[in-house]
Amino acid sequence: METQVAIVGAGPAGLVLARLLELRGVSSVVLEARSREYVEQRVRAGVLEQRTVDCLDEAGVSERLHEEGMVHHGIELRFGGVGHRIDFNALTGGKSITVYGQQEVVKDLIAARLESELPLLFEVSDVAVDVSRPSVSFTHEGRSVELSCDVIAGCDGFHGVCREAIADVLTVYERVYPFAWLGILARSKPSSEELIYANHARGFALHSMRSPSVTRSYLQCSPDEDLDDWPDARIWEELNARFELDGGFALNEGEIFEKGVTPMRSFVVEPMQHEKLFLAGDAAHIVPPTGAKGMNLAIADVEILASALESFYASGDTSGLESYSEHCLRRVWRVQHFSYFMTSMLHRPDGQDPFEAKLQHAQLEYVCRSEAAAKSLAENYVGLHEV
């Protein structure tokens, strides 16, 4: 089997890259370890930056996103029993975010790929990459296949094989947090028009949504939290306690139909490229979820990779490929800093040092009182165009 670009992984990074290459006349084969049903049901992120929406528009896969996605012009920070709105419209010159589930983005991209009748192989196993030849070998439907290519795009997420294949040349930067998120989906009407990020003595909580009748909420918990200890009634009680307001506040409750625990880490490898292998998305970096950057960052990487490959195939210009890693890493570290900042400002580590608790409170008051500080939060949240 032969192609120009072998793409390992059909998450947002791999699928967006495949689509952008298709529109630029570059051939690709996408290899995915899981089944189509699995990747379409996997519940993850939900906030799209404006530039991600623009990218999906350009890719021609945003029709349902515009019908069903919810455009938000601000968020609320809630602490000390009071809510404070961060007004994106006013602070960023009219920018917004769109709330639309990651698995919906993935469904739309898979549908477009299949409609174009381009290769997207699910349930491949034994995937191994050879970065110097370059090629990818794998098993599909019981047959061993060798795919030779010009370039390999390692879009196989944090637990994939591509990063491992070049581990010898990588420097790892990492921070693991002493807490995690317990995330739920519930059949209940959102209790607020916008997302609420709450800092409370019992821990962080986030109120988000997926549609006018489905809410997505998260609670700070411990990384080894046992879901069996969290019957629905306890989850609602804890969420209500953490979202309390001086004037009173009660969430709209409903049936919880999905629960999971997400660990939190910051992780970056440098460089993001070696020989003919280019890492993109979670294969190269992880951010803690506070601020909703993971999927947006994955898509920003592959936009850069797609234009570098376009120039390479159009005119043999290798400069974009050579500067790929450096170019991506500028945004990666900006976003790492923002996600770390949001995480540190909003979570309460067990046994929090009273000095740090005071600093955290001072920081929260500052972003709510100072226009300059609010503007900095807002421009990072909606997504920086250039870094």
Measured from the CB atom, the residue of 210 and 242 that comes closer to ligand FAD is 210
Active site residue 276: no
Active site residue 381: yes
State the Cα–Cα distance between residues 378 and 91, nearest whole angstrom.
Answer: 7
- Closest listed residue to residue 19, CA positions, set 70, 51, 50, 62: 62
State the Cα–Cα distance between residues 39 and 103, nearest whole angstrom.
Answer: 7
Q: Check 12, 100, 177, 197 and give the catalytic one.
A: 197
Q: Which of residues 116-135 bind ligand FAD (CB under 6 A)?
A: 124, 127
State the Cα–Cα distance between residues 89 and 136, nearest whole angstrom.
Answer: 46
Burial of 226 (0-12, 13-18, 19+ CB in 10 A): exposed
Q: Of the listed pieces 5-13, 39-47, 81-89, 371-379, which binds ligand DHB according to CB under 6 A?
A: 39-47
Query: If residue 286 lies in a helix (H) or strand (E), which one and from where to where?
Result: strand 285-286
Partner whose binding site includes residue 208, from ligand FAD, ligand DHB, none (CB under 5 to 8 Å by kind) = ligand DHB
Q: Of the listed pieces 222-230, 232-240, 288-296, 301-309, which binds ligand DHB according to CB under 6 A?
A: 288-296
Measured from the CB atom, the residue of 3 and 217 that comes closer to ligand DHB is 217
State the Cα–Cα distance between residues 210 and 217, nearest whole angstrom.
Answer: 10
Minimum CB separation of residue 346 from ligand DHB in Å reads 10
Active site residue 289: yes
Sequence-separated (6 or more) residues with CB below 8 Å from residue 162: 8, 9, 129, 152, 154, 155, 156, 277, 279, 283
346 binds ligand DHB (CB under 6 A): no
DSSP-derived secondary structure letter, 275: T
What backbone phi and psi angles, to 5 degrees, belong to 327? -60, -50
The two most distant CA atoms of the chain are separated, in Å, by 66
Q: Check 200, 274, 276, 293 and give the catalytic one.
A: 293
Q: Which of residues 280-339 bind ligand FAD (CB under 6 A)?
A: 281-282, 289, 292-295, 298
DSSP-derived secondary structure letter, 228: G
3-state secondary structure at position 160: coil
Measured from the CB atom, the residue of 140 and 189 that comes closer to ligand FAD is 140
Minimum CB separation of residue 207 from ligand DHB in Å reads 9
98 binds ligand DHB (CB under 6 A): no
Active site residue 173: no
Query: If residue 184 lies in a helix (H) or strand (E), which one and from where to where?
Result: strand 171-187
Q: Of the listed pieces 21-29, 30-38, 223-231, 290-298, which binds ligand DHB according to CB under 6 A?
A: 290-298
Partner whose binding site includes residue 180, from ligand DHB, ligand FAD, none (CB under 5 to 8 Å by kind) = none
Give the active site residues. 72, 197, 289, 293, 381
**Interface residues with ligand FAD (CB under 6 A)?**
8-14, 31-34, 39, 44-45, 102, 124, 127, 155-157, 159-161, 262, 281-282, 289, 292-295, 298
Which residue ranges make up the site for ligand DHB (CB under 6 A)? 45-47, 195, 206, 208, 216, 289-292
